[in-house]
Amino acid sequence: METTTHTAQLVVVGGGPGGYTAAFLAADRGLSVTLIDEASRPGGVCLHRGCIPSKALLHAAKVLTDARQASGFGVSFGKPSIDLDQLRGWKNDVVAKLTGGLAQLSKQRKVTYIQGRAAFDDARTVTVTSNDASETLTTITFEHAIIATGSRPARPSALVLDDPRVLDSTDALKLERIPSSLLVIGGGYIGLEIGSVYAALGTVVTIVEMAQNLLPGADADLVGVLARRINQVTDKVHVQTTVTSLAALRDGIASTLEGPGVGILTETYDNVLVAVGRIPNSDVPGLDKTRVKRDAHGFIVVDAQRRTAESSIFAIGDVAGEPMLAHKAFAEARVAVDAVTGGSATFKSHAIPAIVFTDPEVAWCGLTETEAAATGRQVVVAKFPWGASGRAFTLNRPDGVTKLVLDPESGQVLGVGLVGTGAGELIAEGVVAVEMGATASDLALSVHPHPTLSETLMEAAEVFFGESTHFYRPKRG
């Protein structure tokens, strides 16, 4: 077994969005950086088997849906056909191009990339075991380290079954086959996104969610628009329902459902997708040799600069707490590197956008109406229905809503919510409004282009004043 040693000012463990952002920024600022990951290229779960492949498949699903619905305005494509090998190959090619680009950027910045498994020896040393048969050991002495090891799919004990027909999100995105039936356990964003893909590809999909509504925690008025579409494209949606057991049969997976709407029901499905959340990859070997602490949920405990209880070690991204979002990891990476290089930046998460890339998309940022009600915060909600949007009608998608959560006295924008086609792109304006402390007046007086979906934000602000041109709502008394 070959052993090598070297030093680095910064070691980053984990090559996902947080990890490679931290490594690249630190290198841009002149630090010697070593980036460690088990994959052959940077990208992490998000790029290799999460955000990017899922969005590629969601795009294909939307094209299929649009083609099937185009006859409503006189355009016919015939019956769409699916070449599964070509679709899978296209998705894999997207991933390959993007990971290849990151590998090139890493070389351009002179970041040392090591493929292997990292373990901490102490608060200043990490050892990497290579993935290949040689099992080369590389010992790195560092000044600072950033842990960005991400998360993995959760699998409750009742849903553990050693059968390849029981999938997690990683398995489902491989797109090895189109099953005739699929049970999706979990009505959060992962379950809804992947379930939507398979439904568009022709699978009979059933979704089970234990909470009262799909997308637990999101505002009910936004979820309601999506729920109506989900009910149309899937076979069944069961809320307030739990899957209590799975059993392997010759012809499928027998799944027992319990809930007020179904009683106790056992159904058999070709495949089962377990999408009940993710857990942090905080079980990094050797952390017990440092002062790094984890909380009751397994997240690494960090301060506002993402520094752990060990002053030389930081943690960012999924492993450092909710929300588990790539763009949150991007932002935390910049804060941590700023701290490493002597800066004073801190991380605040109140305006981080959340997006569900279903069709229609759901997006929100800042204070939600649900959170305001739970905390007793007095707010005014101004909504503009997309049924009053000319652009939404030209897209044949008037089934959307734009809402502003506003301070009743100052009109300050505290939160923004959207549901509709392209909502994920529109929410960025909401993020800027919340971050900059904009008011309804600021949005209303900012001239938006017509006809666009973006002008629904302007018109929602006008609703607050009772002066929306395309939607009548009397002024507040």
Q: Which residues are catalytic?
A: 450
Q: Are 400 and 386 in contact (CB under 8 A)?
A: yes
The residue whose two tokens read 């941590």 is 336
Q: Are 450 and 458 in contact (CB under 8 A)?
A: no
What is the distance between the alpha carbons of residues 284 and 121, in angstroms, rounded to a whole number? 11
What is the distance between the alpha carbons of residues 146 and 143, in angstroms, rounded to a whole number? 11
Q: What phi, psi does 164 have (nearest 5°)?
A: -65, -10
What is the distance between the alpha carbons of residues 18 and 1, in angstroms, rounded to a whole number? 32
Edge-to-edge strand list for the sheet holding 236-239 = 166-167, 271-274, 181-185, 204-209, 236-239
CB-based contacts of 405: which residues, under 8 Å, 6+ apart? 366, 367, 368, 369, 372, 379, 380, 381, 413, 414, 415, 416, 417
What is the distance between the alpha carbons of residues 162 and 128, in angstroms, rounded to a whole number? 30
Beta strands 278-280 and 271-274, pairing class: unpaired
Q: Are 417 and 364 in contact (CB under 8 A)?
A: yes
Best CA proximity match to 453, nearest among 410, 400, 405, 408: 400
What is the distance between the alpha carbons of residues 89 and 91, in angstroms, rounded to a whole number? 5
Q: What phi, psi does 37 have (nearest 5°)?
A: -155, 155
DSSP string, 393-415: HHTT----EEEEEE-TTT-BEEE
CB-based contacts of 72: which residues, under 8 Å, 6+ apart? 396
What is the distance between the alpha carbons of residues 323 and 329, in angstroms, rounded to a whole number? 9
Cβ-count burial 159-177 (b if 16+ within 10 Å, e if not): bebeeebbbbbebbbebee
Which residues are paired to 134 by β-bridges?
none
The residue whose two tokens read 């894999």 is 92
SS3 451: coil
In 10 A of CB 203, how many CB atoms?
22
